[in-house]
Structure 1
Amino acid sequence: MSRYLNIGIKFRLTGFVALTLIYISCTYNTLVLLAWKILHYTREVCGFGKKTGKCADLVIKNLKCAELVKNRSYNQRTWDDGIEPPQEIDWEKPPVYELIGSGQNASTNVVVQGRVAINILTSHKLPTLVPIPSQPKPYTLLNSSNSKPPNLNVVIQIVGSRGDVQPFLALGSELRAAGHRVRIATHDVFRDFVTATGLEFFPIGGDPSSLMAYMVKNPGIIPKFETIMSGEISQKRKMVYKMLEGCWKSCVEPDPQTNTPFVAEVIIANPPSFAHVHCAQALGIPLHLMFTMPWSPTKAFPHPLANIERSDADPHTTNYLSYGLVELMTWQGLSDVINLFRKKSLSLEPVPMTMGPVIVETLQVPFTYCWSPAFVAKPLDWSNYIDVCGFFFREEPSYTPDEELDHFLSTGPPPVYIGFGSIVMDDAEQMTAILLAAVRASGVRAIISRGWSKLETGQHDPNVLFLGDCPHEWLFKHVSCVVHHGGAGTTACGLLNGRPTVIVPFFGDQAFWGQMIAAARAGPQPIHHKALNENNLTQAIQYCLTPEAANAAMEISYKMKAENGVQTAAQSFHRNLPVDALRCDLLPEEPAVWLYAKSKSKNPIKLSDKAAFILAEHQKVNPKHFKLYQSKPITIQNLRWDPVSAGTSVLLGVMFNFTVGFSEVFTGPAKAFQSKENGGGGREAAVTFGKGLGKMVGVLPKATLVDFPLALTEGLHHIPAFKRIFISLIF
Structure 2
Amino acid sequence: MRVLLSTWGSRGDVEPVAGLAARLRELGAETRVCAPPDEDFKALMDRAGVPLIPLGPSVRSVVARPKPPSEKAAFSLAPELVAARFETLSTAAEGCDVLLTTGLMPAGARDVAEKMGIHYVLACFHTLGLPSRHFPPGKRPGAPSPEGETDNRVLWKHDAERVNALYGEALNSHRAKIGLPPVDNVRDYVLTERPWLAADATLCPAAGRTDLDVVQTGAWILPDDRPLPADLEAFLDAGEPPVYVGFGSMAAYAPKGIARVAIEASRAHGRRVVLARGWADLAPVDDLADCFAVGEVNQQALFPRVAAVVHHGGAGTTGTAARAGAPQVVVPQIADQPSWAARVAELGIGAAHEGREPTVESLSAALALALAPETRERAGAVAAASRTDGTTMAANLLHDMVS
Answer yes or no: same fold by TM over 0.5.
yes
The residue identity in structure 2 corresponding to 1:370 is A
1:298 pairs, out of 105, 117, 132, with: 132
Q: Where do 1:98-109 residues align within 5 Å?
A: none
Q: Distance in 2 between matches of 1:296 and 1:201?
A: 28
> 1:188 aligns to what SS in structure 2?
coil
Contact 2:130 2:212 in 1 (8 A): no
Contact 2:79 2:166 in 1 (8 A): no
Which residue number in structure 2 is paired with residue 371 of structure 1?
199
Which residue number in structure 1 is paired with residue 370 of structure 2?
544
Change in CA separation of 1:373 and 1:174 when aligned onto 2, cut-off 3 Å: same
> 1:398 aligns to what SS in structure 2?
coil
The residue identity in structure 2 corresponding to 1:178 is L
Contact 2:48 2:222 in 1 (8 A): no
Which residue number in structure 1 is paired with residue 109 of structure 2?
276
**1:555, CA displacement in angstroms?**
1.8
> 2:278 aligns to what SS in structure 1?
coil
Which residue number in structure 2 is paired with residue 267 of structure 1?
99
Q: Distance in 2 between matches of 1:297 and 1:281?
A: 23
**1:347, CA displacement in angstroms?**
4.1
Q: Distance in 1 between matches of 2:253 and 2:341?
A: 22
Q: Say if 2:288 is the partner of 1:461.
A: yes
Which residue number in structure 1 is paired with residue 332 of structure 2?
505
Contact 1:216 1:425 in 2 (8 A): yes
Q: Distance in 2 between matches of 1:374 and 1:426?
A: 28
Q: Say if 2:42 is the partner of 1:191.
A: yes
Q: Say if 2:346 is the partner of 1:516.
A: no
Which residue number in structure 2 is paired with residue 395 of structure 1?
223
**1:500, CA displacement in angstroms?**
1.2
Contact 2:65 2:252 in 1 (8 A): no
Query: Alpha-carbon deviations, 1:398-426, whole Å to 9, x = none?
Result: 314222x1221111110010001111137
Q: Distance in 1 between matches of 2:272 and 2:155?
A: 42
Which residue number in structure 2 is paired with residue 105 of structure 1?
none
The residue identity in structure 1 corresponding to 2:348 is R
Q: Say if 2:272 is the partner of 1:440.
A: no
Q: Where do 1:277-426 residues align within 5 Å?
A: 277-294=110-127, 295-305=129-139, 310=148, 318=152, 322-344=155-177, 346-352=178-184, 355-360=185-190, 363-364=192-193, 366-380=194-208, 385-403=213-231, 405-425=232-252
> 1:377 aligns to what SS in structure 2?
coil
**1:237, CA displacement in angstroms?**
4.2
Which residue number in structure 2 is paired with residue 175 of structure 1?
24
Q: Distance in 2 between matches of 1:277 and 1:215?
A: 34
The residue identity in structure 2 corresponding to 1:377 is P
**1:482, CA displacement in angstroms?**
0.3
Question: How many residues end up aligned between the 2 structures?
Answer: 395
**1:512, CA displacement in angstroms?**
0.9
**1:454, CA displacement in angstroms?**
0.9
The residue identity in structure 2 corresponding to 1:351 is V
The residue identity in structure 2 corresponding to 1:267 is L
**1:156, CA displacement in angstroms?**
0.7
The residue identity in structure 1 corresponding to 2:98 is V
**1:431, CA displacement in angstroms?**
2.5
Contact 1:206 1:240 in 2 (8 A): no
**1:428, CA displacement in angstroms?**
7.4
Change in CA separation of 1:168 and 1:271 when aligned onto 2, cut-off 3 Å: closer
Which residue number in structure 2 is paired with residue 115 of structure 1?
none
Contact 1:216 1:423 in 2 (8 A): no
**1:343, CA displacement in angstroms?**
3.6
Which residue number in structure 2 is paired with residue 569 of structure 1?
394
Q: Distance in 1 between matches of 2:329 and 2:254?
A: 21
The residue identity in structure 2 corresponding to 1:570 is A
Which residue number in structure 2 is paired with residue 146 of structure 1?
none
Q: Distance in 2 between matches of 1:322 and 1:498?
A: 37
Which residue number in structure 1 is paired with residue 89 of structure 2?
251
**1:458, CA displacement in angstroms?**
5.8
Quote the sequence identity (%). 23
**1:568, CA displacement in angstroms?**
1.8
Change in CA separation of 1:214 and 1:379 when aligned onto 2, cut-off 3 Å: farther
Q: Distance in 1 between matches of 2:53 and 2:252?
A: 29
The residue identity in structure 2 corresponding to 1:567 is T
Q: Distance in 2 between matches of 1:509 and 1:215?
A: 22
Q: Distance in 1 between matches of 2:256 and 2:131?
A: 40
**1:522, CA displacement in angstroms?**
1.4
**1:515, CA displacement in angstroms?**
0.9
Change in CA separation of 1:176 and 1:312 when aligned onto 2, cut-off 3 Å: closer
**1:305, CA displacement in angstroms?**
3.8
Query: Alpha-carbon deviations, 1:521-580, whole Å to 9, x = none?
Result: 212224443x3221111111111001232122122111104x5211122233344x263x
**1:508, CA displacement in angstroms?**
1.2
Contact 2:126 2:336 in 1 (8 A): yes
Q: Distance in 1 between matches of 2:345 and 2:133?
A: 20
The residue identity in structure 2 corresponding to 1:368 is W
Q: Distance in 2 between matches of 1:542 and 1:419?
A: 18
> 1:185 aligns to what SS in structure 2?
strand
Change in CA separation of 1:252 and 1:338 when aligned onto 2, cut-off 3 Å: closer
Query: Alpha-carbon deviations, 1:258-280, whole Å to 9, x = none?
Result: xxx94333110015232212212
Q: Distance in 2 between matches of 1:381 and 1:209?
A: 31
Q: Distance in 1 between matches of 2:296 and 2:267?
A: 24
Contact 1:428 1:453 in 2 (8 A): no
Which residue number in structure 2 is paired with residue 701 of structure 1?
none
Q: Gaps (5+ residues) in structure 2?
A: none
Q: Distance in 1 between matches of 2:130 and 2:329?
A: 26
Change in CA separation of 1:311 and 1:262 when aligned onto 2, cut-off 3 Å: closer
Q: Distance in 2 between matches of 1:338 and 1:323?
A: 20
Change in CA separation of 1:360 and 1:389 when aligned onto 2, cut-off 3 Å: same
Which residue number in structure 1 is paired with residue 13 of structure 2?
164
Contact 1:290 1:367 in 2 (8 A): yes
Which residue number in structure 2 is paired with residue 492 of structure 1?
319
Q: Distance in 2 between matches of 1:333 and 1:473?
A: 37
Contact 1:343 1:350 in 2 (8 A): yes
**1:251, CA displacement in angstroms?**
3.1
Contact 1:269 1:288 in 2 (8 A): yes
Which residue number in structure 1 is paired with residue 386 of structure 2?
560
Q: Where do 1:20-31 residues align within 5 Å?
A: none
Contact 2:82 2:170 in 1 (8 A): no
**1:371, CA displacement in angstroms?**
1.2
> 1:268 aligns to what SS in structure 2?
strand
